[in-house]
Structure 1
Amino acid sequence: MTKFKTVHFILIFLLFNSLLFYIGWNGWVWLKVAFHVENPLLYSVLFIFLSYSFIASRMAKFLSAFRVIGYIWLAVIQYSLLLLPLADLTVFLLTLASVPLSTAILVVGNVTLAIFMIIFAYGLFNAYSPIVRTYQINVPKKQGNRESLRIAMASDMHFGTLSGTAHLKRLVQKVKAIEPDLILLPGDIIDDDLEAFTRKKMSTIMSELQAPLGVYGVLGNHEYYGGQVAEFIEEMKKININILLDEKLTIDHSFHLIGRKDKTDKNRQSFANLLTNIDPAYPIIAMDHQPFELKQAQESGVDILFSGHTHRGQMAPNHLITKKMYELDWGYLQKEQMHAFVSSGFGFWGPPIRIGSRSEILQVDVQFI
């Protein structure tokens, strides 16, 4: 490790622990007033365990059971850092208004706890109650006998531990109701590794995803993170889900389908290379997990582009960050001839909580004219 990286690590470590201390101190002050607890030892041990459970789960496989706790605690940390400064300020203002300190701490603490519970309940609902968003678009190209195409698209399912079999069944049920001609899955189908996916026999349920023109997907960054790309592709192949690796197909003599490797792969092909020697008279539909290259896709002749990755920040106000990072971080944008779609995702990364976003499936009805 270089000197610069060492200093960088130390600074992050100190900042992280300073924030944890601030959160922990607030919790202890409220506990002491509300329940007259005097010995902080048990509280401190529990707080440290919760705060480091996610990091521990990533360091060793035998600690992976802590991952669920760690995921949920990430949301606690985020909303603590948003709510606690306001709570502390409110306590200070109440004491200035001659409210006894213990009374101010108890009242404000109880209100803050109630707000936490509302946030988590609402976030759980948004995460586990997916909706179908519908779009109708026209593409001024027509080949073969096909005049229309109904696409069902779901991204960022993160199937595994918390996005489990029940959530997968919701996906299958809702996609079946759409009755699509084509199903597209643009990346992050699993949450890192295959262990939970295979242990829960999720492929059996996922095999029910069927469409007349097939089911196709691409790799997301999390398939790479798990280090089991080959095994994942083979698992998908067994259930007739074709993962496209910088590949192009002509489907039903009517349109081209392009599938890019994820941006994580530094050797992936550019849109320009992928669309070389392709007949531009055909409608061109593409999947690219991360929506970083809308301009390149449009200039290369793509007519419809599907992406995910952003989760629309997943937990507000993170959407303000993704909005700055991407030309389109969620929703629909027409860019010259190209119709771009970025989904907030069907699943979630980390805590099963969505604030300011919703788990979703896209139904896109295409008219070729």
Structure 2
Amino acid sequence: MAKKQTRRIFLKRSFGSILTVLGLGSGGFLYANRIEPSLLDIQEIQIKHRLIPDSFDEIKMIQFSDTHLGFQYTLQQFNKLVEKINSLQPDIILFTGDLMDEPNQYTEINKLIPILKKLHAPLGKYCIFGNHDHGGYGSDIYRNIMETTNFTVLLNQAVPVITKDGSIIYLLGIDDAMLGNPNLPLTLKNVPKNTFTILLSHAPDLAETASQYPIQWQLSGHSHGGQIKIPFLGALVTPPFGQLYPEGLYSVGDDSPLSLYVNRGIGTTRLPFRFLSKPELTIFTLKPEI
């Protein structure tokens, strides 16, 4: 009982400190707790590279990440997100981890599966593990959900994406850095040289390692953009493996640098707030570069 009271006091003090730092009154509390978490920001990014085949010109990929269903984010909200993604008519759908906040505690899997099944992309749906997907003995739960809903689960694997004329790019997916065992050499083992590659890594900071391999782009999530940011100061807290690159577009490495994009995610975790860090859906359009 004493342990629970200590934890409760700690959470209350932490919560109070955050409100004080942010200067949140009742209106600010409502904004950070109810309004900003529901304000979907759609970012559009062009991916240009000389290794992209001509037949991939204007191919559209949509990335979503970090839904954390069961904490604050609901199935009703998720269903609207799925409808929005489908309305954008993606060719490829990418999910970069943390589907449920606590997989082994989530009680609405039977309702979740039909919603995920509705997502449609003619060139495939692909996903990777995040730390919450592994947490709470959730690895098998997450894999079963994603495979049941026609996602290809990439666990230290590479798969070709092939257009009608036989042109190929490769999608790579590595395990989570916090609770998994990422293995880039294994992932790249059967990928031909001089092929355009996109790496899915839940943890953005693995770009430091990925930039040493023949990988052109990395797409990540995990950091939530800090989730709560202070004007002029940035994020209050960033997670392990999400501290170097918290959000947005980066160039990593010196020779043939890796392009990294970090999506802010959809849901929240630990604290049910977003402040100056809106939920994000990212649209990537492929463009051959002459």
TM-score class, shorter-chain normalisation, is 0.7 to 0.9
1:155-304 aligned within 5 A: 155-196=65-106, 198=108, 201-252=111-162, 253-265=167-179, 267-269=181-183, 271-304=184-217
Q: For 1:304-358, what per-residue CA distance to the aligned partner results, in whole angstroms no more than 9, with x for missing partners?
A: 1111111122123471543996331101113344221111111111333201211
User: TM-score when scaled to structure 2?
Assistant: 0.84
State whether structure 2 residue 268 is matched by structure 1 residue 345: no
Secondary structure of 1:230's counterpart equals: helix
Change (3 A) 1:152 1:197: farther
> Which string of whole-angstrom CA distances, capped at 9 and with x for unpartnered residues, describes residues 130-166 of structure 1?
1211112311113473323211001101112421112
**Percent identity of equivalent pairs:** 23
For residue 330 of structure 1, what is the aligned residue in structure 2?
A: 247
The 1:84–1:260 alpha-carbon spacing in structure 2 relative to 1, beyond 3 Å, is closer
The structure showing larger relative contact order (alpha-carbon pairs under 8 Å, at least 6 residues apart) is 2
Give, in whole Å, the separation in 2 of the partners of 1:85 and 1:303.
Answer: 39
Structure 2 residue identity aligned to 1:334: S
In structure 1, runs of 5+ residues without a counterpart are 1-9, 21-50, 56-73, 87-111
Give the distance between the partners of 2:106 and 2:160, measured in 1 at CA.
Answer: 34
For the 8 Å contact 1:133–1:363, the answer to whether it is kept is: yes
Q: Which moved more, 1:231-240 or 1:181-190?
A: 231-240
Equivalent residue letter for 1:120: F
What is the 5 A alignment of 1:1-369?
A: 17=6, 51=8, 74=11, 77-82=13-18, 115-123=24-32, 124-143=34-53, 145-196=55-106, 198=108, 201-252=111-162, 253-265=167-179, 267-269=181-183, 271-317=184-230, 319-322=235-238, 326-335=243-252, 336-369=256-289
Change (3 A) 1:216 1:118: same
The answer to whether the 8 A contact 1:162-1:352 is kept is: yes
CA 344–84 in structure 1, closer or farther in 2 if over 3 Å, else same: closer
TM-score (normalised: structure 1) = 0.67
Give the count of matched residue pairs: 276
Structure with greater strand share of residues: 2
Q: Which has the higher helix share?
A: 1
Whether the 8 Å contact between 1:190 and 1:197 is mirrored in structure 2 is: no
Question: What SS does the corresponding residue of 2:267 show, helix, strand or coil?
Answer: coil
Structure 2: unaligned runs, 5 residues or longer: none
Structure 2 match to 1:42 = none
**Equivalent-residue separation in structure 1 for 2:35 and 2:170 (angstroms):** 37
Paired residue type of 2:72: L
Change in CA separation of 1:286 and 1:85 when aligned onto 2, cut-off 3 Å: closer
| Contact 2:223–2:239 under 8 Å retained in 1 | no
Code of the aligned partner of 1:289: H
**Secondary structure at the counterpart of residue 280 of structure 1:** coil
